[in-house]
Amino acid sequence: MFRRKTNGLWIAALACIIVFSFVGCEKLKISKLRSNFHFSKANQLFTDNQYRKAITEYELALKYDPNLVQAYRFLGESYKQLFKPAVETPLNKDIEKKALAALLKAHEIDPTNKEIVFSLGDMYDKQRNFDEAEKLYLKIVEFEPGNMNNYYVVAEFYKRYAGDKPGVARKAESMYLRRLEADPENPQGYAYIADYYEKLPASADNIDQAMNNFDKANEFQAKRIQLIPNNPEAWLARGINRWSKAFRFQNLPKEQRMAVAQDALKAIEKARDLDPNYPEPYSWLSVIYKSVLAKLDPDKEARYIAEGDKNLDKFQDLRKRFAERKKLEEELKKTK
């Protein structure tokens, strides 16, 4: 009799456990469904740049699923879109605090997620917190050492601080060079480091350093051309580099400036000849004729001005044709 009673109690208890487990699972399912609903809605609002409304939906998604890592990430991104660096208002400081908190939580849940690491690093970068941002950007390279774009991301980060922090310019240069070493046959790497040298800050009283940076950039542009000799954009970039040196450094001897200007002219003409329908070389030919050659050789000034005007007209004509063609293509798409 006692055993039957005990068995009955055990069966009843087991039944209760099953019922409660079922109810718990159902509640969990419903929470997940609600969380996914709000998360999807938030993502659409984020895509539509409606960040304040997206924040509300991401917070609701997290209410129903506190471990939804991507909701924390995009909650942080939404706040980040509203954040204005260097603005010291109470509202902006509150937005800054919430953006960082959400991204830190996402990173805590998934510390090896490259996108989250980048988002958090970007937030520290916006705060001008160099040390914390650097740690995270370097992690991106550690995660994917074979991804060339990662070196570029870190190099660009360093470039933003090159004029403010001693030694950072060398770090940027090192990243660009590492990218080249990892993939020496990729012409884009040479374009990146050339652009870096051309835009590298130099003190006003150190003209030699600035000229040296332009010459280094020119060397990398030349190496890029060796890899893609028939690319008009590569030739144009080299021509612009030489024009920049001839135009900016007017303290150079006249003969030297003229030699550099002629080098620029040949490179830009090569870009034009490789693709006669490429508008930009004509624009730059106009610039070099008027801004440098006409100044350096007054006896031929009228001729150079006329050449400049002719190339400017050609540039404007090609741009007009391009705009008309694009408009026609858009209209044809609408009729399909």
- b/e map 197-209, b = 16+ CB within 10 Å: bbebeeeeeeeee
pLDDT of residue 203: 58
pLDDT of residue 205: 59
Q: Would you say domain 36-130 falls under CATH 1.25.40.10?
A: yes
Which SS3 state, helix, strand or coil, does residue 77 take?
A: helix
pLDDT band at 13 (very low <50, low <70, confident <90, very high): very low
Instruction: Give CA–CA dist 158/155, Å, rounded.
Output: 5
- b/e map 60-79, b = 16+ CB within 10 Å: bbbebbeebbbbbbbbbbbb
Determine which helix (DSSP H) or strand (DSSP E) holds 14, and give its type and residue range. Answer: helix 2-47
Are 238 and 218 spatial neighbours (Cβ–Cβ below 8 Å)? Answer: yes
Measured between its terminal Cα atoms, the distance across the chain in Å is 84
Kindly report the backbone phi and psi dihedral angles of residue 205, in degrees, each rounded to the nearest multiple of 5, phi listed first: -95, 5
Of 203 and 244, the one with more pLDDT: 244
pLDDT of residue 83: 95
Are 184 and 224 spatial neighbours (Cβ–Cβ below 8 Å)? Answer: no
- Listed by start position, the domains of the chain span 36-130, 144-226, 262-325
C-alpha to C-alpha distances, 161 to 19, 42, 295, nearest whole angstrom: 61, 34, 36
pLDDT of residue 250: 87
How does pLDDT run across 231-253, given as a tens digit for each residue?
Answer: 999 999 999 999 999 999 988 99
Here the tokens at position 231 are 């690319």
Reply yes or no on whether the pLDDT at 206 is more than 80: no
Reply yes or no on whether the pLDDT at 1 is more than 80: no
Instruction: Give CA–CA dist 80/100, Å, rounded.
Output: 8
Supply the pTM of this predicted model.
0.72
Are 98 and 79 spatial neighbours (Cβ–Cβ below 8 Å)? Answer: yes
Of 159 and 14, the one with more pLDDT: 159
Which SS3 state, helix, strand or coil, does residue 248 take?
A: helix
Tell me which amino acid residue 284 is.
W
| Mean of pLDDT values over 151-169 | 86
Cα dihedral 173/179/182/185 (nearest 10): -110
Report the chain's mean pLDDT, rounded to a whole number: 88
Cα R_g (the chain), whole angstroms: 30
Reply yes or no on whether the pLDDT at 132 is more than 60: yes
Here the tokens at position 291 are 């801004």
